[in-house]
Amino acid sequence: MTTKPKKQKFIVEENETIDECLDRMKREGYFPVRRMEQPIFKEEMINNVVEAVPCGRKIVFEGKLL
């Protein structure tokens, strides 16, 4: 029998709500201990200068085994 890792990261997918991600964690036997948000940038040309413009965010939960 293989054992599950004690900690695992869960990424909120493109067409998934936070509640759906938390339910997925619970089904796999983990509970959330940390929430991290990472900004997503895209490069745009503004006044002949390339600038990084925020266009979204990625939400990641860290879960511990129950």
pLDDT greater than 80 at residue 2 = no
pLDDT digits (tens, 9 = 90+) for 5-62: 999 999 999 899 999 999 999 999 999 999 999 999 999 988 889 999 999 999 999 9
Q: What angle do CA 27, 60, 51 make, to 5 degrees?
A: 155
- What's the pLDDT score for residue 46? 84
- String of DSSP letters for the chain: -PPPPSEEEEEPPTT--HHHHHHHHHHTTEEEEEEEEEEEEEEEEETTEEEEEEEEEEEEEEEEE-
- CA 66, CA 24: separation in Å to the nearest integer? 14
pLDDT greater than 70 at residue 66 = yes
- What's the pLDDT score for residue 4? 84
The 10 Å Cβ neighbour count of residue 11 is 13
- What's the pLDDT score for residue 1? 55
